[in-house]
Structure 1
Amino acid sequence: MKPVLPALALLLSSGYALADECDNASTQADLNACSAAQYQAADKKLNQTWQDVLKRAEPAQRDLLKKAQSAWITLRDADCAFISSSTEGGSVQPMVNNQCLTDKTNEREAFLASLLQCEEGDLSCPLPPGN
């Protein structure tokens, strides 16, 4: 039972509630599938925002942006592997990993979306303002 406690603590502290979309899940397999679908939805939204940011970036910024995104993906995956390591081998591990991926992906999407809100003269924002 010990390995489940960190997973439950992670879920309770998560800003993204599984309960909203997974109310009808009755097995761990259902919860795992639901959490995977939530991650896929978050990743799709991130990729849409990513494309918008790439379009807005100056040509010289695009390589830097791609390097930053690649480094973020590596960090996200390593963090989530660590977070879900306490449940390794258990049936709850995919859900814990997916929830971590979802949370971190939502955070990254919000950050990238904030870059699209740059205003003229805001030197703290690297992207040019939108038209």
Structure 2
Amino acid sequence: MKRYLLASAALLLSTGALADECASASTQLELNTCTAKQYQAEDKKLNQTYQAAFKRAAAPQQALLKKAQLAWIALRDADCAFIGSGTEGGSVQPMIVSQCMTEKTVEREAFLASLMQCEEGDLSCPLTPALSP
């Protein structure tokens, strides 16, 4: 339960940041560029969190995590293609798709990060707790 609260909080905080960062853009091209950069930054963060979770996972879990991540990527891409389909061919489509990709990526990163916070004895959490210093 704690993991899901952390993931939800991270998603809510990042959604506001998405709007703020592109507030100074004045053309659709600038908005498209800004939202694409936001997506790239969040994707980089997700990849770092994924790698950390992958390293923490036991060998049999690594294959399952990789399978889950690849399935999530396919779902994210399909969802965002659908979301952007309403603006097919329009200059706003890249921004709509980038925003969707960013939001879903932030959500996934928060979920994976929450798995890194497993507490001893939490059987619903697949990763072993971090070692205390």
TM-score normalized by the length of structure 1: 0.87
Paired position in structure 1 for 2:9: none
**1:15-54 counterparts in 2 under 5 A?**
15-54=15-54
Contact 1:116 1:129 in 2 (8 A): yes
Q: How big is the alpha-carbon RMSD for the aligned residues of Structure 1 and Structure 2?
A: 1.2
What is the Cα deviation at residue 39 of structure 1?
0.1
2:59 matches 1:59: yes
Contact 1:115 1:125 in 2 (8 A): yes
Higher relative contact order (CA 8 A, sep 6+): 2
What is the Cα deviation at residue 111 of structure 1?
0.2
SS in 2 for 1:15: helix
Task: List runs of 5+ in structure 1 lacking aligned partners.
Answer: 1-13
2:124 matches 1:124: yes
Q: Give the counterpart letter for 1:38 in structure 2.
A: Q
Moved over 4 A (4+): none
For this pair of structures, how many residues does the alignment match? 118
Task: List runs of 5+ in structure 2 lacking aligned partners.
Answer: 1-13
What is the Cα deviation at residue 21 of structure 1?
1.0
TM-score normalized by the length of structure 2: 0.85
Question: Percent of aligned pairs with the same residue?
Answer: 72
Contact 1:16 1:103 in 2 (8 A): no
